[in-house]
Structure formats: structure tokens, C-alpha cells
Amino acid sequence: MKQSKPVTRTTLKELFASLTAAALLLLMLFFAVRAYQYAGHYEEITRTMVEKHDLSNLSGNKLKKIADTLTFGLYKGYEELVAVEEKSREAQAFFRDRANLYTINFTITLLAMTVLYLVVSKRLFTIYLSFAGMIALVTGVITPIMMMSIHKDVEYLGDVILMMESKGVLGSISKLVEGGDWVVGGILFAFSVLFPLLKTLSMLFVALFVESRFAHTIVHFFKLIGKWSMADVFVVSTFLVYFSASKGSMSQAEVQVGFYFFFIYVIVSMLTSLAADRMLQENKRA
């Protein structure tokens, strides 16, 4: 009868690390989803508030204020308007703070995962980072990166918001394509969506099939072009998102959580490439 293989301390350590990594990945997924949801709520309530600051609404608000003054406070339309505006601002701040909080929690959990580098093999660590990078990439692509608005100071009315747009990578690509900028949209899609996705899946393939010769080819290829594709193109993509929202001059621009998730992915992608390279070197020596 064939005897079962004894459970060693190394096996137990890697089993515990794998369970810990799975828990951390689920926690990161939860934080990413919540950050995405609250970023969407923040975008929605901001858009609603902006619509109330257009020319027609501000004119109506001015008339309500005059009516409130002339009736010595008997007409409370303007007071109710101010109260609603204050509640909207509180809700806006709440959604923004929550989105930022979950983004910070995601980053802290990711940093906790990097500690596993000290206790697990390079192969398992590469697998963990690949999944973490996938979560960060998807969240960074679908979540708004920047929110931009154009303001104009109108006499007697005050600050009038002429336009507000909140765009992410996918939204910018869609707008560029709709505007006929197929080449720019294609480049942005290739280097901000397609190429990062392929790279992450390739690193996962390398970790799962480390004995394959093709794995060495993949790592060598991404080492040659990885720095340019994941750093410089990220900056170019960010500016494309910024300028594709409007061709006019921007008076305000606010960075959204999608920017941070995309930036996190860039860092994780570099770490994954280094881990995969060292994994292959150790396998080659063995």
C-alpha cells in the first residue's frame, strides 16, 4: 500500500500563507467594489449639484432670495433651498471621504500581502500579486480618474458652472472614438487596458507553468518594454483623460480614486515582473 506524503512544516506554512492571501484578496476585492460604488455616488450627487448651478437655476434662486427679503422672511423658499444645498454638500463630502477611505484600506491590505514575500515561494507570491494587480487594474479602468468643470463668474448671479464631466479610461476612449479620434483612442485602449490585462494574465501564466520555456520568453519580453509601457504611457493616458473631457480651458480639476487604483496597478505590475523574474532564475538554478 502506497504511503501518503508526510506534511512538512514548509507545507503547512505555505498552506497558511495561501489561506491568508485568499482572505486578503477577498478583502481587497471588497474594498475596491466599495470604493467604486462610493465614487459613483459622489459623481452622481456632484452632477446633480452642478445642474442646480446653471444659468436658469441661479436666476430662479436669485428671485427667491429677493422674494424672501421683500416678505421679511415670510416666504421661506430661499431658506429651504439653502438647507437642501447644505444637505447635498454633506452627502457629497461623505461619499468622497468614503471612496478615499476604501482606497486607503485597499492599499493597506495590499501592503500586508507583500509581507508574504518573506514566508512563501516566489511562485506563490507572483500568483498572489497577479490577482491583486487584476483587481486594481479593473477598478482603475472602470472608476472615474478625474472630474473637470468650467466656471464663469456672472454679474448678479455669481459662480455659474457651464460644464462638468467626470471621465475614466473607458469613458475617455469611448469619447475619443465617438469624436473620430480612432488612432488616439486605439492607442489609449491598447496601452491602458489591453496591454496591462495581457501582462497580468501572462505573469499568472508564468507562475502556473514555470517549467515552460515560453514563460522565460514572456518575462524577457515584458522586461524590455515594461518600463515604457507601464510608466510613461500611464502619464500619457492620464493627460488624455484630462484633455478629452473638453477642448476648452479647465477652471477646476479634481483627481478621483480611479487614478490611485491605476497607479497602484502600475506599482504592483512592476513588483510582479520582478517576482516572476526571480522565480525563473531560482527555477533555472534548481
Provide the pLDDT for residue 156: 56
List the strands of the sheet with 146-154, edge to edge.
158-167, 146-154, 252-255
Contact 222, 273 (CB under 8 A): yes
Number of domains in the chain: 1
Parent domain of 271 = 9-285
4 in any annotated domain = no
2 in any annotated domain = no
Contact 144, 166 (CB under 8 A): yes
| 82 class by beta-carbon count within 10 Å (0-12 exposed, 13-18 middle, 19+ buried) | middle
DSSP structure class, residue 2: P
47 in any annotated domain = yes
Provide the pLDDT for residue 131: 94
* CA atoms of 68 and 61, how far apart (whole Å): 10
**Backbone φ and ψ of 24, nearest 5°:** -65, -40
pLDDT digits (tens, 9 = 90+) for 223-245: 555 555 555 455 555 555 555 55
Provide the pLDDT for residue 1: 43
3 in any annotated domain = no
Residue 270 pairs with which residues in a beta bridge? none
Provide the pLDDT for residue 73: 53
73 in any annotated domain = yes
Burial 126-153 (b: 16+ CB within 10 A, else e): bbbbbbbbbbbbbbbbbbbbbbbbbbee
Q: Which residues, given as ranges, of the chain have pLDDT below 50?
A: 1-5, 232, 246-250
pLDDT digits (tens, 9 = 90+) for 65-104: 555 555 555 555 556 666 667 888 889 899 999 999 999 9
Contact 257, 185 (CB under 8 A): no
- All cell numbers assigned to 276: 516572476
1 in any annotated domain = no
Burial 24-40 (b: 16+ CB within 10 A, else e): bbebbbebbebbbebbb
